[in-house]
Structure 1
Amino acid sequence: MVTVVDVRTLARTLPRSSEHVIHDRVKFRVGSLVYVAFSRDETTMGFAYPKEQRDALIAGEPDLFFPPRASDLRFNWVCCHLARLDRRYMTELVTEAWRMVVPKFLARQRLGG
């Protein structure tokens, strides 16, 4: 099971990433762009993800992933249940979400290709 502490540990290593508490919710962002946010009870995590690939991700693992609330469907965003997420998968999802909000040169420096 993944926790906010696990994500925080990773996010602190990502350049330009900062943590904020907004309306009692922990969020990680680069500048003004949020790339990870937790529910108030910290049982679910929303993260940046290409909206054109969202339906396929949810269909592939419906017990893990679910769509954001209706008002957020217009954004590149998807949600998951933390209790069903392992650390390796979390690292991939958070890192890719971060990649979506930083300049390409910075993502290449950090992650390559």
Structure 2
Amino acid sequence: MVTEEDVRRLALALPEVAERTMYGTPAFSVRGKWFARLREEGDLLVLPVPSEEHKRELLTADPATFTTTPHYDGHASVLVRMGAVDADEMGELLAEAWRLRAPKRLAATLGPPSG
């Protein structure tokens, strides 16, 4: 199970990440663009995904890990159940979300996605 501290450690290890508060909860951004936010519940993390189609694929393929709420209908964002992933998987999810928000040249410094 991944904790808030694990998410913080993994997110802040990515290039040029800053922590701030967003909607009253910890959030992480790269050059001013958010890529992860802890939900008020404390066990859910909001992450952007490449498209709504990709979101639907995640929700269908692994409903134990990924979920959503009506608030995110029409948005390419997914909720991750932190208790359903280990630190390695969370690191990959955060890196993927970071790549979506980082400028192209900065994103290239991280290298290609794994898998």
TM-score (norm 1): 0.88
2:58 corresponds to: 57
**Shift of residue 21 of structure 1?**
1.8
Size of the aligned set, in residue pairs, is: 112
The answer to which of 26-35 and 99-108 deviates more is: 26-35
2:42 corresponds to: 42
Show structure 1 runs of 4+ deviating over 3 A: none
Structure 2: 5+ residue stretches without partners:
none
Q: Could you say what the CA RMSD is over the residues aligned between the two structures, in angstroms?
A: 1.6
1:6 corresponds to: 6
What do the CA deviations read for 1:28-73 (whole angstroms, capped 9, x no partner)?
Answer: 1123321111112311111111222111111111111112x32333
The answer to which of 11-20 and 98-107 deviates more is: 11-20
**Shift of residue 86 of structure 1?**
0.9
In the TM superposition, 1:33-112 aligns within 5 A as 33-50=33-50, 51-67=52-68, 69-112=69-112
CA shift in 2, pair 1:72/1:31, >3 Å: farther
Query: How far apart are the structure 1 equivalents of 2:31 and 2:74?
Result: 20
Structure 1: 5+ residue stretches without partners:
none
Calculate percent identity across the aligned residue pairs.
28
**Shift of residue 8 of structure 1?**
1.1
1:15 aligns with 2:18: no
Q: Answer yes or no: is the 8 Å Cα contact 2:22–2:37 preserved in 1.
A: no
CA shift in 2, pair 1:16/1:75, >3 Å: farther
TM-score (norm 2): 0.86
